[in-house]
Each structure stands twice: as structure tokens, then as C-alpha cells.
Amino acid sequence: MDKDRIDGNIELNTDQVIDGNIELNTDQVIDRVIDRNIDQDIDQDIDQLIDRIIDNYHGQASALLQILLDIQSVNNWLPGKALARISEKLEVPLSRIQHIVTFYKAFSLVPKGRHKLHICVGTACHVRGATRILDTVEQATGIKSGETDLDLKFSLETVNCLGCCALGPVMEVDGKVHAKMSPIKTSKVLKTYG
Amino acid sequence: MSEIQFEIDGRQVKAVKGMTILGAARNEDIFIPTLCHHEELEPFGGCRLCIVELEVKGWTKLVVSCVYPVEKNIIVRTRSKKIDRIRKTIIELLMAHAPFAPDLMVLAKEYGADGDRYEKDPSFCIHCGLCVRYCDEVTGKNAVGFVDRGINKEISFIPEIAQKECDDCKKCFPLCPTSYLQAAFVLTKALAFAPSQPVLSEPESFKKKVTGE
Amino acid sequence: MPRLNTPEELECFRQKILSGRDPDKPCISICAGAGCIACGANEVIEAFALAIKDQGLSAKIDTRGTGCPGFCEQGPVVVIYPEKICYLGVTARDVPEIVSQTILKKKIIERLVFKDPATGAVAVHEPDISFYKAQERTLLCNNIKIDSRSIDDYLAVGGYMALAKALGSMTDVQVLEEVKKSNLRGRGGAGFPAGRKWEGSRNAKEAIKYVIVNADEGDPGAFMDRALLEGNPHSILEGLILGGYAIASHEGYFYVRQEYPLAVENIKLAIEQARDYGLLGKNILGSGFDFEVIVHKGAGAFVCGESTALMTSLEGRAGEPRPKYIRSNLRGLWNRPSVLNNVETWANVPHIINRGAEWFNGVGTDSSKGTKIFSLVGKIRNTGLVEVPMGMSLRDIIYEIGGGIPQGKKFKAVQTGGPSGGCIPEELLDLQVGFDELTKAGSMMGSGGMIVLDEDTCMVDVARYFINFLTDESCGKCVPCREGLRQMDKILTNIVEGRGKDGDLELLEELSETAVEASLCALGKSAPNPFLSTLRYFRDEYEAHIRDKRCPALSCKELIAFYIDPGKCRACGICLKKCPVTAIDGDKEKIHIIDQEKCTNCGTCFEVCPAKFTAVIKTSGAPVPAPIAQEKRMIIKKAPKKAQKKADQNE
Ligand SMILES: Cc1cc2nc3c(=O)[nH]c(=O)nc-3n(C[C@H](O)[C@H](O)[C@H](O)COP(=O)(O)O)c2cc1C
Ligand code: SF4
Ligand code: SF4
Ligand code: FES
Ligand code: FES
């Protein structure tokens, strides 16, 4: 078996898989590959942006997270090509950068919608009915948490505590906090974002 | 190098400073099961299977032997009811992912683990990190890495690097206790090594990703 | 900008600031904390500026946007000095009236003052408000007095006095000893004695050491660190510099979560100001002590609050905890001695140096000294931040300060300690808050989250909520946590969705043991707490879910149903209009009926049905009564006799 392994001859025993009534879950691999094939038609600008931000941190690899956060906040998302450039400039392996940008919630590898909806599902908001707010938003926008709609209008995300627990449940749209939400109020707020 | 004396399973053993309990035990042919340990790699402490009971000055605690450094006069027990129970649960949890991994099947027998106890989620990888760490620490190529976190954590080849490096290396393949590494490699190769054209036509793949469907 | 070169120069400068300020000059403090901004504080601030300018009062009145005083529920909060008149829920429309009536004519505007929700008593002045009365606000008291963006304001309330004292008249060892004697315990989680942690680092041989502020505040439902970071950043910075001095470190870090942009901004500003004044940098106050501070933003990972994960993250990597069995005060950031403390821990240090360890030891219980800030939220009347001396009973916090449970509901439990904490039931309400007391009750102090739960809260769902949170936030490095939580989450979800089975509880207990005993870091080790503590005190709720498929709190969506009581429905039509999925059938004078097939259990009808009817009924564990027969659905109006007769005839 070891020889097969070394040759990369895949030897998943399909009988066992079928007998065991289980399926190989390969979505992840496919997802990653698709990421790379998205037409990443980025402005030339982003290269300059990256260089400038890296210079701000004197090119220190330990500032990698801060550099990625800064790029994310200016550009809204992190295109694969940007990651490659950062990897090259900071001499940090791409695999490590990929781990970081998928490990932390703040980063996005796909473009974000024009309006960012953050629904707080922190404890205080949860016990005051945050789930119902989330349900309402999901129904109204047709997207689930973590997704962006096709017109790039809304990106929906759940967050853990916006620090306004006294006013829960709380929804944040583009940085503005809407307090003491109810399903009805939520629909109203959403309508104001055209 | 100062020599350190201590006890494992009632036996007096010697070790040198800086060694781990696991290292000392292996030197003495005392078996402690492991899944994420590898001699050439930094201790990882991920599988927690090598957990042992440690008694220091009358205090007992559980520690993982692949990380814990030897100390003078400690008393180590490699099996106990509690340790066996914990190991059994760990094996059962991993078998929900990789029910037919040979190493796990052997361990399951030893600890009476039932691979069907927990709901299955057949992703095969047990996240021992051997491939990732070997490719980083030993070969220095970093062609495979971890992505995401928690229950979504997976390994992933970086096509740009893998395409250049892996076919001539494949050193990590025999390390993998399951079949996932090869599967992931073959899949990455099929999907992403093709030089020019993208695998899926762009609009669909783009939409798919954006909506997360 | 004056650069202050000695402690004396600092004192002189402080006097100069104070002499330029008239304590009797009216000053309007408007809370500009995150909570109040969400309620429109910015508009209020603008309105004040405008009104004051319009009435030509600019020279006579000061205004100030301040940090959060903690009473967010009733925001925006406005306090008028020197009288300390406190107005709550102020809107921009109230502003001209406040200026013309209260400021100029000293008249109180009744509708804006605090009314005790329990007794109806009115309190005009801040110290009289029941929410504040029983508190002891050592750390929070300055929040409403200072503009958090002004170092001069901080100096005016005695800021950097402790630093001047330490650098001017104490050796580094004396500072360390004072903190040790104070018995200050960490406010961020485990309650480890700060002095002992510092001493370990101090005695380590390495030349380079670090001090770090843990401002990651990951507990979902707690915001005291945020209030301090945004409202009084200099107090934390001063504590950090003192810590650096005590352990001979010259480099400090703030690790602030990026979800708090205002906190990041204010801290950065505070550092700049302190540097300009010579309170940071080389040769601070002429003492020869150098100290620099760097701000690092977190990128959204709860586990990065854990000390070794935080340090890994500071080094620019994915925040996975380290498996080492050596404390980070000996080997932490870049493998060097590193003292990591919570925001609130650091903020206590200047007070200890100023007033001495004796004073600090005079507050609190035997094993827990000083005050602690709790974030009192959930099903409670007065929500917000409360700072109380350690040892106050939970009952006093919840009923005296918090004003009890709203809407006449019954108290069920209070959840403390964040995701790794536990739930404390009613019978333990007289428990004194303190590190060891809470741990003994199966919960913990944690960072000070205090979430009050009433009879409508399902305890199984609370456990599921926290386990689910931790499943999302586990770093995934070790098996007992990653895989154990994955399975626990699945089982608990099954239970709340009505698919619980015999044996589930045993399986959960087994997974808990493995996670507690074998996980790599404290996240996994404490993750089962929410389950274990709810099982300990509320086993019957688990059993009802599993055996009877019933949620006693009528909260689990999959286990409840709504129907309309035909005897109570007056066909007002409100529910019909509001139901988002048109599951309700009805008409004028016609008793409404919910189509169980269509109903999504959103509960809107239950909420909108007028209180005088309360015709919508929520049930669990019992079948919904069959809908009333079609022919009986017309409502027969009793009032005019004639109409009644007519109806009778029609029938
Ligand atoms: C999963 C996890 C998350 C934590 N999050 C925080 C946090 O957000 N803020 C904090 O101050 N401490 C947090 N802690 C506690 C820290 O690890 C550490 O004990 C603390 O910052 C030390 O400071 P203290 O002694 O002043 O409390 C967390 C611990 C764990 C295990
Ligand atoms: S692919 Fe194999 S070697 Fe790599 S982490 Fe997974 S189980 Fe371990
Ligand atoms: S206990 Fe959880 S968070 Fe901690 S190392 Fe293990 S997987 Fe990561
Ligand atoms: S829990 Fe929602 S703001 Fe804190
Ligand atoms: S071998 Fe020790 S934790 Fe895996």
C-alpha cells in the first residue's frame, strides 16, 4: 500500500465507502480551486496599495495580520493575486497566508456587497430573540449568513457582540447600529437600503 | 547533559534533560499510542492520544506525553481507567471521519472503541497535521497547508507550489494515517494543474462562490 | 504641546489645567459610547452645539462627548454638571428645551429623568438613581467626566499621578511589591494573581520582556472592556506603563479586536498624546525609564483571547494555542517573558499605586479584592455596566441595581462567565460574587458577563447556544475540542429540535469528560461548562425535551406551536395582517385560524395580538386543538339586542 501512496495512486476503497454508507467529502478541495479560477480582474492599483501598506509596516513579516487587515479594509476583499504578492514581498509561504485568511473571520476571499449587514448573535442578543432577526433578514434578502447576493447588494454576516448588548437585539448596517430590533422593524430598516 | 531519573508504569527510567516523556518511554520500549507525533517534527499536541497520568509530589494530573518534558522523580502511568476512557472517545471521534484508517482500526481494537458511536462525517482527514508540518519543517516547500478553523479545518494543496514541487517529492504521502492526503492531491492535480484554461466556466463558478451555494 | 520632563512638571501642568477650569461652569456631558451612538447620541451632540451657538452661550457652557457610563439601555445619557442632573433617552428634539429650561432657568424636565421601573420613584441626580446607587465605581466613574479623546481631561481627574509617583519615588521592585500585596487577581478569565505573574517575568533572566493588554473581549455579551477602552483609554495605558516599569519591560502591546473600531482609534490617539507629553518613549518623566507601545488589531477569532493563541497571533500567524507546558510569563511572545493581563486588570493598577495596596485590600472578600465590572444584560430591567465591590450578592446586583425582571416574568437563572461559564439558578442567588465562589457553583467569573434569564428562556437552548458558539470558534487543533464539540453541538441541536434520544445525556457527559481532561487549551477544557451546569440544575428540562418532546419554556421553535383560542379571538385582524407567511385565515367578525402547515412558528401573531384579547396561545408537548368548525366561526356580537336576534334568526 505504501508504494501506491507514494505514487499518489489514490486508493480509497470505494466498496468500503459504499458499505459504510459514507461519501468522500471533497467540497473543500473543489472550493479552493474555484477560488483561484475566479476572474480576478483587479486594478493595477492594488499592487501599489499592497506595496504602500507593506512599507507602512517596514516590510515586517510579523505585521502580516495588520497588513492583511489594512488591505481588506481598503479593498473590501482579498484577491488571490494580492495574497501571492504579499507572500512574495514578505517572504511568507502562501500556505501560511492561506491559513491566516481563512482562520480569521475578518477576511474575505470574495468580493463583498455594497451594504454590509451584521446581525449580532451574541448571548445578550440571542436571549432577546436575535434568531428571529436573522431569519427575517435571510428571508428578505434571500441569502444566508456568510453570503453575498448576486447583485452584490448585500453581504450578510453574523457577529458575536457589537458591544451594545443593553440594546439588543442589534443589527449593524454599514457600521451604523440599529438597536432594539424586531422582525417588523428589521424589514423596515432593510427597505431603506436600496 | 544532566541525567534525569523517574518512573514510568512502576519502572525506573533514565532520560536526559529536554526530552519528552514520550521520547523517554520509547527509548525504554514502553508503548504510548500517538497519531500526530513524528520524530523529525516539533511536538504538535493535537491528537491528545498520548495522554498519560502524571504524579508530582502527590498531585496527579493528565498531560500529553509528546510535549511534557521529563522531570526528576515524577511518576508516570501510561494506562488507567480514565486514560483508556479518554483514548477510546478520541478514537471513536476520529473514526466518525476515517472509519477504515488502519492505524485507527488497530487502536479501536485495543481500546474497545466502537466506530459507529458518533454521527459520521466522512472527510477522512484527521487533522494530525503530519503532512503540513513535514512539508514545512522538513522539506521546506510549504506546498500543503491548513485552511479554515475549528470543525471546518481542512488541508489544502497550493496548486502553484504543488505543481512545481510535489511530483518529485511525495515524502508526506506515507505519513498520512488515512487516504485523504492522496485524494486531495489527485483532486487538486486534476482540477488545478491544467495550465491554461480554468476548470469550470467562469460565470457559474463565480456565482457559485459568491452565493455560497 | 508641553513635554513633561519631571514628575513636578507634570503636577504643575495639572494645576494649570485645573486653574483654567471653573468647577461651577455648567458642563453638558453626553455619552458618546457605542450604545448611545446607536440611539442617536451624535445627533444630540450636534443639536447641543447648535442650540448653544444659537443662544450665544458658547463661552458660558462646555459640552463634552464622553465614554460610556454604563446605562446604555436608557441612552442617550446626558449629565449636566455641576448639579449632576441626569437625563435619559434624550433626543435632538429635547435639546433646545434642555438648554433654555435646565441650563438657563435651572428647571428640571420631568419627562427625561429616571423613574424607577419597580417603584416609580423619580431620581433627578445621577447618584440618586437606583441603578448607580449600590455601585462602587472606581474604574468607571471617570467615564462620564472626561472626554475620552482628551489627555488634559484625564490629567484633570488625577491621571498619570500614579505614574509620576512610581517613577518619582518608588523603585520598580516597590511597584511590583505593591501590586503583589494588593492581591489583585486577573479580570479576564482565570483570576490568576497579577503580582505573581509579574514577579515570574521580572525574575526571568532574558533582557527583553513584554507587557500586553488583552483587549480581545471575545465574550459575546460583555462590553466592559469596550467601555474602558473607548471611554478612558489613558487609564489602561497608565497601568500598562506601570507594569512595564515593574517588570523592567520596555515594550508593550494592545491586542484589540477589530470589531471595536472606536476603541482602536481612541487607544491609538491616547498613545500619541502620551508620547507628545513625554509619558511614553525615552526617559519618561526624567526617570531614565523607556517604554513604547504598539497597537495590534485582532482579526475576529475568539480563541485569540487565550493567552498563547493571542501571542501566536501577535507574531503574525493563525491564532492556534501552543501545546507547551510552560507559562507565558516565562516564555511567551517570541519566546520571551510576557505578562498578559486583561484591560480591567491593567486599569486597576494606577488606583493601587495611588491609594496603596491597603486600600485595595479593604474592598471585597477574603479571596477576591477590589471591584469588578459586570455587564448586566438579558431579561433585566436596567441593563448596562455595573461596577460593584466583590462579595456583593447576585440578588443585590440583579434586583437592587438591575431592578429585577421586566414584564412580571419569573427569574430563572443567571449565566456568568461567558461561553465557558455556567448558569446559576434561583436557589443560589444569595451567592457572593467572587472568583472562587462562582467556580464552586459550577460557573466562573470569566470576564464579567452576567446574562439574566427568565422563565421564557430554555436552558437546553442556552447550552446549545454556547456549545455552538464554541464549535464555531474552536481553533481546530486538538481532537477533544474540535471533534468533541462538533458531536456535542449535533446532539444538543437534535435535542432542541425534538430528535433527542435515550442515551444522549450519557454521550454528552462522556464527551464533556474528554474535552475537560484532554483538550489542549482552556477553550476546550471549559467548553462543556454551559452543558454541565445546566444539566446540574435543570436536568428536568433536558428530560422534557428528550422524552416528551416538550420545551417547558415554550421557546424551542421546533417543539412549539401556536393556535388561536376561538373563545378569545375578537377577529380584530391584526395577526392576519402581520403574519409574514399568510398562515392565518380570518375575516371581519370571523374567528381567525392558524394553518399549522404554513405556520413557521415565528411568533409574530403571539406578539401582536392585543393584550386585552391574548387569543394566540403558545403550546409545547401537546397536540394543537383541532380548529373550530367553519360554521361556528362567525362572532356573534352581544351588544344591541336587535342585532343579536337577527343573527339568531340567520342561523
Ligand atoms: C478561549 C479563551 C478566550 C479568552 N478571551 C479573553 C478575552 O477576550 N479577554 C481577556 O482579557 N481574557 C481572555 N481570556 C483569558 C486569557 O487567556 C488570560 O487568562 C487573561 O487575559 C489573563 O489576564 P488576567 O490575568 O488579567 O485575567 C480567554 C481565555 C480563553 C481560554
Ligand atoms: S491529510 Fe493525512 S497527514 Fe495530513 S493532516 Fe490529514 S490525516 Fe494528517
Ligand atoms: S482546546 Fe480547542 S481551541 Fe484549544 S487548542 Fe484545542 S481545538 Fe484549539
Ligand atoms: S450580544 Fe449583541 S451587542 Fe452584545
Ligand atoms: S501524539 Fe501527543 S498529542 Fe498527538
Q: Could you give all domains of chain C from N- to C-terminal order, each with its CATH number?
A: 22-132 (3.40.30.10), 159-361 (3.40.50.11540), 371-457 (3.10.20.600), 460-547 (1.20.1440.230), 560-650 (3.30.70.20)
Ligand nearest to the CA of B51: 5
A99 touches chain B (CB under 8 A): yes
Assess whether pLDDT exceeds 70 at residue B25. Answer: yes
C-alpha triplet A149, A155, A159: angle, nearest 5° = 145
Assess whether pLDDT exceeds 80 at residue C35. Answer: yes
- Asked if C382 contacts C73 with a C-beta cutoff of 8 angstroms, the reply is yes
Q: Is the peptide bond before C2 cis (omega within 30 degrees of 0)?
A: no
3-class secondary structure, C418: helix
Assess whether pLDDT exceeds 50 at residue C523. Answer: yes
Ligand 4 atom 1, closest CA: A122
Element (H, E) at C304: none
Q: Do C378 and A128 touch (CB under 8 A)?
A: yes
Per residue in B115-125, pLDDT tens?
999 998 888 89
3-class secondary structure, C58: coil
Per residue in A33-91, pLDDT tens?
545 444 444 556 788 889 999 999 988 888 999 999 999 988 888 998 899 999 999 99
- Residue C393's beta-bridge partner residues? C432
- Residue for cell digits 486594478? A43
Q: Dihedrals φ, ψ of C208, to 5°?
A: -95, 130
Closest Cα in chain B to C481? B150
Q: What is the mean pLDDT of residues B123-152?
A: 94
Query: Distance from B93 to chain C by nearest Cα, in Å?
Result: 6
Q: How far apart are CA B198 and CA A39, in angstroms?
A: 9
Of the candidates A25, A2, A93, the one whose C-alpha atom is nearest the C-alpha of residue B187 is A25
- Residue for cell digits 434568531? A131
Of the candidates A146, A149, A80, A158, the one whose C-alpha atom is nearest the C-alpha of residue A113 is A149
Q: How far apart are CA A69 and CA C298, in angstroms?
A: 9
Q: How far apart are CA C119 and CA C105, in angstroms?
A: 29
Which of C48-52, C171-175, C496-500 is predicted with the least confidence, judged by mean pLDDT? C48-52
Q: Dihedrals φ, ψ of C602, to 5°?
A: -75, -20
> For chain A, which residues make up each domain, given as ranges?
1-110, 115-191
DSSP 8-state secondary structure symbol assigned to residue C609: S
Assess whether pLDDT exceeds 50 at residue A124. Answer: yes
Q: Tell me whether residue B36 is exposed, middle or buried, using C-beta atoms within 10 angstroms of its C-beta: 0 to 12, 13 to 18, 19 or more.
A: buried
Closest Cα in chain B to C485? B151
Q: What's residue C638's pLDDT?
A: 60
Q: How far apart are CA B127 and CA C520, in angstroms?
A: 14
Element (H, E) at A29: helix A27-37
- Asked if C162 contacts C354 with a C-beta cutoff of 8 angstroms, the reply is yes
- Residue C422's beta-bridge partner residues? C416
Which of C104-108, C127-131, C606-610, C634-638 is predicted with the least confidence, judged by mean pLDDT? C634-638
Taking CB atoms and an 8 Å cut-off, how many pairs form between chains A and B?
Answer: 145
- Residue for cell digits 472626561? C146
Assess whether pLDDT exceeds 60 at residue B201. Answer: no
- Asked if C25 contacts C62 with a C-beta cutoff of 8 angstroms, the reply is yes
Q: What is the mean pLDDT of residues B97-118?
A: 94
Mean pLDDT of all residues in chain B? 88
Strand C251-257 relative to strand C384-389: parallel, antiparallel, unpaired?
unpaired
Residues of A with CB below 8 A from C384's CB?
166
Q: Could you tell me if residue C209 is left (phi over 0), alpha (psi between -120 and 50 degrees) or otherwise beta?
A: beta
Q: What is the mean pLDDT of residues B99-115?
A: 94
Q: How many CA atoms lie within 13 A of C15 on its CB side?
A: 6
3 state SS for chain B: CCEEEEEECCEEEEEECCCEHHHHHHHCCCCCCCCCCCCCCCCCCCCCCCEEEEEECCEEEEEECCCCECCCCCEEECCCHHHHHHHHHHHHHHHCCCCCCHHHHHHHHHHCCCCCCCCCCCCCCCCCCHHHHHHHHHCCCCCEEEECCHHHCEEEECHHHHHHHHHHCCCCHHHCCCCHHHHHHHHHHHHHCCCCCCCCCHHHHHHHHHHCC
Q: How many CA atoms lie within 13 A of B200 on its CB side?
A: 17
C420 touches chain A (CB under 8 A): no
Assess whether pLDDT exceeds 60 at residue B75. Answer: yes
ipTM: 0.90
Of the candidates A136, A128, A137, A134, the one whose C-alpha atom is nearest the C-alpha of residue A167 is A128
Q: What's residue C447's pLDDT?
A: 87
- Asked if C37 contacts C226 with a C-beta cutoff of 8 angstroms, the reply is no
- CA–CA distance from B142 to each of A9, A92, A93, B139, B155 (Å)? 21, 10, 6, 8, 12
3-class secondary structure, C556: coil
Per residue in C482-503, pLDDT tens?
999 999 999 999 999 999 999 9
- Residue for cell digits 446574562? C451
Q: Is the peptide bond before C76 cis (omega within 30 degrees of 0)?
A: yes
Q: How far apart are CA B129 and CA C477, in angstroms?
A: 9
Query: Distance from A80 to chain B by nearest Cα, in Å?
Result: 11
What's the CA-to-centroid distance between B125 and ligand 2, angstroms? 5
Q: Using N-to-C axis directions, what is the helix angle for C233-247 and C343-361, rounded to 10°?
A: 70
Mean pLDDT of all residues in chain A? 80
Of the candidates C122, C42, C26, the one whose C-alpha atom is nearest the C-alpha of residue C81 is C26
Q: How far apart are CA B79 and CA B183, in angstroms?
A: 35
Q: What is the mean pLDDT of residues C127-156?
A: 91
Which residues contact residue A51 at a Cβ distance below 8 angstroms, ignoring those fewer than 6 apart?
A: A89
B89 touches chain A (CB under 8 A): no
Q: Dihedrals φ, ψ of B60, to 5°?
A: -110, 145
What is the C-alpha end-to-end distance of chain A, expressed in Å? 60
B151 touches chain A (CB under 8 A): no
Q: What is the mean pLDDT of residues C605-626?
A: 92
Nearest to A34 among B136, B147, B200 (CB): B200
Which residues contact residue A184 at a Cβ distance below 8 angstroms, ignoring those fewer than 6 apart?
A: C578, C604
Q: What is the mean pLDDT of residues B138-142?
A: 95
Residues of C with CB below 8 A from B48's CB?
478-480, 518-520
Of residues C252 and B2, more confidence is placed in: C252
3-class secondary structure, C576: helix
Per residue in C363-408, pLDDT tens?
999 999 999 999 999 999 888 899 999 999 999 999 999 999 998 9
**B94 Cβ closer than 6 Å to some ligand 5 atom:** no
Of the candidates A179, A138, A146, the one whose C-alpha atom is nearest the C-alpha of residue A162 is A179
Q: Where are the alpha helices (DSSP H) in A60-144?
A: 64-75, 80-90, 94-103, 123-127, 130-141
What's the CA-to-centroid distance between C305 and ligand 1, angstroms? 5
The CATH fold assigned to B3-111 is Ubiquitin-like (UB roll) (3.10.20)
Per residue in A7-35, pLDDT tens?
444 444 434 433 433 444 555 555 555 45
3-class secondary structure, A154: strand
C-alpha cell at C31: 455619552
DSSP C194-248: HHHHHHHHHHS--S--EEEEEE----TT--HHHHHHHH-HHHHHHHHHHHHHHHT
> For chain B, which residues make up each domain, given as ranges?
3-111, 130-193
Which of C214, C219, C340 should be mutated for ligand 1, with most atoms under 8 A from CB? Answer: C214
Q: What's residue C117's pLDDT?
A: 76
Q: What's residue B41's pLDDT?
A: 96
Q: What's residue C641's pLDDT?
A: 52
**C523 Cβ closer than 6 Å to some ligand 3 atom:** yes
Residues of A with CB below 8 A from B144's CB?
95
Strand C590-594 relative to strand C584-587: parallel, antiparallel, unpaired?
antiparallel
Ligand 1 atom 15, closest CA: C189
Which residues contact residue C611 at a Cβ distance below 8 angstroms, ignoring those fewer than 6 apart?
A: none
Q: How far apart are CA C142 and CA C69, in angstroms?
A: 8
Q: What is the mean pLDDT of residues C617-635?
A: 90
Q: CATH classification of A115-191 is 3.40.30.10, yes or no?
A: yes
Of the candidates C192, C212, C195, C219, the one whose C-alpha atom is nearest the C-alpha of residue C447 is C219
Q: Do C479 and B96 touch (CB under 8 A)?
A: no
* Torsion sign across C-alpha atoms A80, A81, A85, A86: negative
DSSP 8-state secondary structure symbol assigned to residue A174: T
**C409 Cβ closer than 6 Å to some ligand 3 atom:** no
- Residue B59's beta-bridge partner residues? B56
Q: Do B100 and A146 touch (CB under 8 A)?
A: no
Q: Tell me whether residue A187 is exposed, middle or buried, using C-beta atoms within 10 angstroms of its C-beta: 0 to 12, 13 to 18, 19 or more.
A: middle
Q: How many CB atoms lie within 10 A of CB B154?
A: 21
Q: What's residue C57's pLDDT?
A: 87
Of residues C644 and C568, more confidence is placed in: C568
- Residue for cell digits 473514526? B95
Q: How many CA atoms lie within 13 A of A11 on its CB side?
A: 15
3-class secondary structure, C626: coil
Q: Which band of pLDDT confidence, cut at 50, 70 and 90, is reported for residue B198?
A: very low
3 state SS for C325-379: CCCCCCCCHHHCCEEEEEHHHHHHHHHHHHHHHHHHHCCECCCCECEEEEEEEEC
What's the CA-to-centroid distance between B163 and ligand 2, angstroms? 19
Per residue in C93-139, pLDDT tens?
999 999 999 988 889 999 999 988 777 888 999 888 888 988 999 99
Residues of A with CB below 8 A from B178's CB?
none
C-alpha triplet B147, C447, C295: angle, nearest 5° = 60
Q: How far apart are CA B84 and CA B80, in angstroms?
A: 6
Q: What is the mean pLDDT of residues B2-20?
A: 94
Q: What's residue B200's pLDDT?
A: 39
Q: Could you tell me if residue A142 is left (phi over 0), alpha (psi between -120 and 50 degrees) or otherwise beta?
A: left
